[in-house]
Structure 1
Amino acid sequence: MILGSVLNPINSTIISVALIPIARALGVPPSQTAWLVSALYLATSLGQPVVGRLIDIFGPRRLFLLSTGLVGVAGVVGTLAPNLGALIAARVLLGFGTCAGYPAAMALVRSEAKRTGRDSPGGVLTALAVANQTIAVIGPLLGGLLIAVGGWRATFALNVPLAVAAVLLGLLRLPKSPPVDGERRRGGLAARLDLPGMGLFAAMLTSLLLFLMDLHPRNWYLAVIAAALGAAFGLRELRAATPFIDLRVLGGNTPLLATYGRALVAYVVSYSFLYGFSQWTEEGYGLSPFHAGLVQIPMFLLAIGASIVSGRRRGVRGKLLIGAAGQIVACLVMLTLTGSSPLWTLLLVALIFGVPQGLNNLALQNSVYFQADPERTASSAGLLRTFAYVGSMVASSATAVSFGQRADTGGMHELAWVMLAAGVLYLLLTVFDRTLGRVAAEGTPTAK
């Protein structure tokens, strides 16, 4: 469960220190290497709820093994890629390949709670959160080491042994799912999957994310197409007997919708810092990829501590409020930085960001577990990641627009203002959500 769930964050954090070396090696500006970030999250945004729904139907084992095997293929493609286009294709494969890890883990936690009658998964959910934070600590530093030893291609090659280990462990340890019954083979499966709904969802999200990745008036038609496809998707899901995303239930679950909204804006801040700040420390401040990774270590170390300390505490509202405040303070400090700022100020910003990094992820994860329909735990968890990745796409677009041809200090300040606006919105969404007080660490679901 843990190894599968960390395949996505390790690829997210490693690439943050590899963007500048890749740009230099291939002779492209930072605005183009932003597609390496966007491609992974576009694929993952599409794949997470789809794979989550398949896991709800078939169980986690089959989907985990298939998806994780694809990670190894992506590692080979990226290692041998001759140009930026091939690298982008490798990142797309990575996005689809890492889709199953997190929904499978959440589904296994839910099934184990049902089997034992003990719906108190605080320790397991904390372990998942801490594992992701630990990988985030290792990611930038490991990326810097790999680049120093084997060049940026080594950051893609790492996926091959990780995928082999995950597949072997999955074969040995994951419980086998029941065989597909006759009803599914006779066509009931297609109805349960709602293939038209999945297709409309994929087309809508692709149009939206393509618009977000290149915010420009000339791309207005993409927003119109996304809106039209969204309307068609809504009509389809409201009429489907077994919808891909049950909008009637989801629409009545205001607490879960608010959690998805918080995830979107939280990840705008988080990923803008992860990618934008890393690029600025290398190109605007002059650090090497290895030292840029070292600068982020205080953030992830404090995040691990915050997750461990708060993991078993009842409720999520306090965690979200402290996380929101931490985001705002860190953005304000970013606005004071220049290319001549002392190194300790960069470490201070990373340290402050560690508080929301540790609290927000855990609180959002716990919220979805208790707010979602138990029969759709995996797909609801996947949808949480989809909203988070939409936020990451906004962050990637904001980073590309802010930096343009070079990651300089002026661009970093522009990005900090975007992050500050998202942080304030996150705070407002938390302050005015009165349902958060009913989400308890002991497992009391929020009223639908």
Structure 2
Amino acid sequence: MSNLAVGSASALAFPYISQSASHASAAGKLNVACVGLGHMGSYAVKEAEKENFVALCDVDWRPDEAIWGDRNPAKTAAENPQAGKFSDFRRMLDKMHKNIDAVMVSTPDHCHFPAAMAAMEYGKHVFVQKPLAHNIWQLRTLQKAARHYGVKTNMGNQGHTFEGARLIKEWYDNGVLGEVREVHCWTDRPRGPWFIKPDSIPPAKEHTPKDVDWDIWQGPTAERPFSSEYVPTKWRAWWDYGVGCLGDIGCHCIDTPYWTLDLGLPTAVDVMLDEPANELFTPFGAQVIFHFPARGSKPPVTLHWYEGRPRPPLLEGMKEFPSNGMYMLGSKEIAYHEDMRPVSPQLWPRERMLDYKDVLKKRNLPRVEGGPIQELFRDIKGEGPRALSNFDYSAALTEVILLGALAIRLGHRIEWNPETMQVTNVPGLEHLVKEPVRKGWSFGENLWT
């Protein structure tokens, strides 16, 4: 996820753009605004380079490559001088909404929701990096908003567009795997540069750099002193701003089994930690066990997530695991892939694929050209089907992720009622299901009345 681009503060001069230029049908290009330009934001800009950038928004304009590397907001802005430059997405939308078709959100996790909501309230289509939001109330509200405002949406779990995701689902749908009751997913996170333990929790107060709008960086969260332990890359490990290792990688690694098995929402989540839970900072090392109930004729599923040192049992004939991966244990066969995304999936052991060579050739699902940003833009232009990680799908997937993160944060089992949005075995967690926000950062309340 990229660095912060949210807030309120200066809006620099921007060129006049005619009203007619704001419609994709006029020239075949969308007018795109980008909120968050560093790291994953620079990726989003690259993926959308065939469109027309009209506004760029970030709150950290330090040009220092020692801080950012070559994926920094100042460089991205310099490469797109035609676009208006802002530090506050709210002001950007107020001033330029008539000239914007779509908004890409690549901020830290805690600002995904307000940026996406602000855009949708203006009727703008939105792309949001994973995880979709920072708490479960936000997820449900984003679903409501997409329907209410009638906009196109997509989340940035790139693997959902991969060939490998479709192959595994086709294998399952065509009966190759048999019944699946057990899934294992793992990641090598936490590791640098995103997850680094600070010298103290909370970190020591530092002077705020002049090119950083720290008030806006904090978005809806409670005010804290500036620290380089948060900015620009290490915010993921802090519960106020990120969703830990599971939030970072889970939407990738868990996506394929979640989609393939149509898992829905778990009713309980167990957790085992390598170190004590902390209310501010994610532990380094955890195993999470999601319990999904039966769905129609499909049996219950237990999904195991491992981050840090814990690893799943080795498959027969496997000497060691890659740093990231997934396997699904079927009653007939095992589906396996290396990497956090479904790159080059296979049956395990690979020789088993010879026994299904005719069945494995069946193609039941449409393929996607390019990644989730191109997929969304084709949807907006009417040149392709609905983007598959739309908020109806991605909010549910992310709810699974956030429930696991909540169990890690608490350090013990939680039982979940998805109908009432309540943790039923632990009272008093309403402030984590729907987090309080600072004045001026409230969005979406009207959709619940």
- Which bin holds the TM-score, normalised by the shorter protein? under 0.3
Q: TM-score, structure 2 length as denominator?
A: 0.27
| Structure number with higher helix proportion | 1
Q: More relative contact order in 1 or in 2 (CA 8 Å, sep 6+)?
A: 1
Q: TM-score, structure 1 length as denominator?
A: 0.27
